[in-house]
Amino acid sequence: MDLNMTISDRDVLLVIDVQNDFCTGGALAVPGGEKIVPAVNRIAQKFTNVVLTQDWHPREHVSFAPNHEGKQPFQTIELDYGTQMLWPTHCVQGTAGAEFHRELEVLRANLVVRKGFRHGIDSYSALFENDHKTPTGLLGYLRERELKTVFVAGLALDFCVRFSAEDARAAGFEVAVIENACRGIDLDGSVAATHRSFRERGISVVSLEAFP
């Protein structure tokens, strides 16, 4: 998938977690996170179908390092569903950090999916929580709307964008990640691992410039 893609009514743009806490000055800032906002706004204008996700945690969330005595952010713990990275407290429901970046054109969206609201389970993916079983409801929406190709943009490339793209691909959608409308956190080579994984799974990586 490359030059001159045309966007159809069967395509959806999935915009992941463009929230203040993932931008400069936020609690879990992704380097240059806010820099993608103009690109996301520009591309969103070309889509009929735009879905936003919003990371939306209760303050006692299991993924927050301060909720585990003696643990620091970016250490891991073992939970029933597997290894969980611990994060600084971020995107707490109702706080300014959980709001969308003020320049993001949220009115373009026809659906907002909130995720990570169960205190005992994290949710990177827009489709399934981190147990890879509990649905957010987005898969049902995409299927009922008969959408076929999922374009993904947002934050962070190597966590929520990656998991969302992989789950959409595993569910049978064509998936293309718009590389220059994403930014990564990059912990221990996680951006390189993300690109390898996309290649193995047949997830396309495209550039904004490929859209007419």
Q: Is 166 in the site for Zn ion (CB under 5 A)?
A: no
Count of residues in contact with ligand VGL, rule CB under 6 A: 9
Tell me, yes or no, if 188 is annotated catalytic.
no
Tell me, yes or no, if 17 is annotated catalytic.
yes
Q: Is 87 in the site for ligand VGL (CB under 6 A)?
A: yes
Query: Taking a C-beta distance cutoff of 8 angstroms, is the pair 53, 168 a contact?
Result: no
**Residue of 11, 160, 167, 182 marked active site:** 160
Tokens 């490339």 label which residue?
Answer: 157
Contact with Zn ion (CB under 5 A) among 11, 21, 34, 55: 55
Binding mask 105-124 for ligand VGL (x = CB under 6 A): -------------------x
* Residue nearest Zn ion (C-beta atom): 55
> Site residues for ligand VGL, window 133-172 (CB under 6 A)?
155-156, 159-160
Tell me, yes or no, if 148 is annotated catalytic.
no
The nearest distance, CB 191 to Zn ion, in angstroms, is 18
Cα–Cα distance measured from residue 176 to residue 166, given in angstroms and rounded to the nearest whole number? 10
* Nearest in space to 160 (alpha carbons), one of 133, 193, 122: 122
> Site residues for Zn ion, window 56-115 (CB under 5 A)?
none
**Residue of 17, 21, 158, 167 marked active site:** 17
Tokens 């109702």 label which residue?
Answer: 94
Q: Is 56 in the site for ligand VGL (CB under 6 A)?
A: no
Enumerate the active-site residues. Answer: 17, 115, 160
